[in-house]
Amino acid sequence: MSAPDGTLCTKTHEYVIPEGNNVYRIGITDHAVHQLGDIVFVELPDLDSTFEKGEVFGTVESVKAASELYMPAGGKVIELNETLLKEPELINNDTFGAGWFIKVALNDVADLAEALEYDEYIEDIEE
Amino acid sequence: MDTNTNRTPLYNEHINLGARMVAFAGWEMPIQYTGILDEHKCVRENIGLFDVSHMGEVFVYGKDSVNFLQHVVPQNIAKLTTGKAVYCQLTKEDGGIIDDLIIYRLEDKSDLPSFLLIINASRVKEDMEWLEQNNAALALDVVIDNQSANLSLIALQGPKSSELIELIGIKSDEQPEYFSIKQTILESTDVLLSRTGYTGEDGFEILVKNEEAATLWNLLMEKGKELGIKPIGLGARDTLRLEAALHLYGQDMDETTTPVEASLGWSIPKDKKEDYNGKAKILSQFDNKPSKMLVGFKMIDRAIPRHNYEIYINGENAGTVTSGGVSPTLEANIGLGYIDTKYPTKSGAIIEIMIRNKLYKAEISKRPFVPKSHQKAIKK
């Protein structure tokens, strides 16, 4: 499973993929997925809700534990992947593709300044 | 990993099978191999192999072994015939539970009654201290022999378990019945073969000397291939037992809960004449409802209940979840928890679980959540 070009990752293991026109696709990284194991449940925010950078926007649960999801950047939720509610295994099986959680319109792309490019992120977590 | 954790004799087998290891009760154990959901399904549909060597095995034998055991558990050990097993609790004077365990009556040793106790990994030290304390106080003629360090335990569970044991040479009508044990040989390995388990499926728990554990494990994996056998980790062991509504000591009960409160009243005889630790308190709870009871519940709202989440009824804090999670078989979320008995504890009663500051509805449910299929092992 490889991250598409342009994928940025946070220290809390969310990924952000720019889609153009200030739309960004957000999910959790393959590293996070591997740590979690089988994912069985996802809680998504409401459409049109707004969050600050670092705010909890949802939950992802594996068999063993619940984990909160943190906004990599402040913005408004403009699309939800509701398929995840019935098929959370998409997160395990197609992490960067069909396993996306939300799409957001960012308030300020500078919020992503600290996010790492995927290769840097992998190096960072291996330390 | 902490260098103080123990490894079972099957450690290398787990690593070779790609297990993800975790520390549990001072042991390095496999939590999963192919994935918890995949392993869970394999046990329900085919057959799974578990390393449960971390558990404890204590032999109790001698002239007064029956009297001794009668004193430390509520269950009636005098009624246990050779080759049979019973699910018990070691209780304190106040009725609190020190551990839950299975006691097996083995063949007599030098013409005297002989028993095997299989106890929880997390309680071996406490159980041994408790047994020795009681032995000292009672001054009976009994030997308490902790063989945990020398023995390994492998569990084989699933609808095809009996078929696999038959493939290895023990015909179906020579296999022990449900909740029975026999000494036998599996392809030249001496074992104690017990028809018990922690999954709700038909299956066996096989006790073997440490030096022979790997041979036995590999034999079962090899012969079980055509039946679809997989190695199963502690992750699926937990989801399986929760579906079967089998308790986990330390979560669903502990020293502050009596067997009646833990909804184990079914295992307590009302007509045992001998005295035992906690007898007065435990029997009194059949007449005077205890203040808290363990119930099982199924979520109505979409959410997963987990250990230590609070239970609310009519807007008031009414108890706590002790075990909770997903039921892959039911595709529902289930749990166990204590509630104040001033509220209804019958099936169908509505409760709420507080999860991340919101309340989610659940309904008290009959147990087991998934019907047990081990009944097939009972001979008519």
Mean pLDDT across chain A, nearest whole number? 96
CA–CA separation, B353 and A66 (whole Å)? 15
B304 contacts on A by Cβ (under 8 Å): 40-41, 61, 66
Subunit contact B235:A64, Cβ cutoff 8 A: yes
pLDDT tens-digit readout, A27-73: 999 999 999 999 999 999 999 999 999 999 999 999 999 999 999 99
Q: What single-letter amino acid sits at B247?
A: H
Q: Which of A37, A59, A66 faces B32 most closely, judged by CB atoms?
A: A37
ipTM of model: 0.93
B353 contacts on A by Cβ (under 8 Å): none
Q: Which contiguous run of DSSP H or E holds residue B184?
A: strand B181-186
Q: Residue A33, Cα to own-chain centre: how many angstroms?
A: 11
Tokens at B167, concatenated: 């493939």
Tokens at A102, concatenated: 């939300």
CA–CA separation, B280 and A27 (whole Å)? 58
Predicted local distance difference test score (pLDDT) of residue B372: 85
Q: Is the pLDDT assigned to residue A112 strictly greater than 90?
A: yes
Subunit contact B37:A66, Cβ cutoff 8 A: no
Q: Residue B5, Cα to own-chain centre: how many angstroms?
A: 22
Identify the segments of chain B with pLDDT beneath 50.
376, 379-380
Subunit contact A66:B306, Cβ cutoff 8 A: yes
Q: Which of B20, B36, B307, B331 to mutate to test the interface with A (most CBs of A within 10 A)?
A: B36
Residue B346: Cβ within 10 Å count? 8
Interface of A with B (CB under 8 A): 37-38, 40-41, 59, 61, 63-66, 85
Predicted local distance difference test score (pLDDT) of residue B316: 97
CA angle B360, B249, B121 (to 5 degrees): 135
A38 contacts on B by Cβ (under 8 Å): 35-38
Torsions phi, psi of B186, nearest 5?
Answer: -105, 100
How far apart, in Å, are the Cα atoms of A31 and each of A17, A34, A122? 16, 5, 8
Tokens at A96, concatenated: 């960067």
Among B286, B252, B46, B303, smallest CA distance to B156 is for B46
Q: Which of A37, A41, A85 faces B304 most closely, judged by CB atoms?
A: A41
Torsions phi, psi of B22, nearest 5?
Answer: -145, 155
Q: Is the pLDDT assigned to residue A98 strictly greater than 80?
A: yes
- Is B125 exposed, middle or buried (CB count within 10 Å of its CB: 0-12, 13-18, 19+)? exposed
pLDDT tens-digit readout, B249-264: 999 999 999 999 999 9
Q: Which residues pair with A23 in a beta bridge?
A: A20, A105
A37 contacts on B by Cβ (under 8 Å): 20, 32, 35-36, 235
Subunit contact B35:A38, Cβ cutoff 8 A: yes
What's the helix, strand, coil split of chain A in %, to 5? 25, 35, 40
Predicted local distance difference test score (pLDDT) of residue B380: 41
Among A98, A112, A113, smallest CA distance to A33 is for A98
- CA nearest A89 in B: which residue? B37
Predicted local distance difference test score (pLDDT) of residue A127: 79
β-pairing, B48-51 with B230-231? Answer: parallel
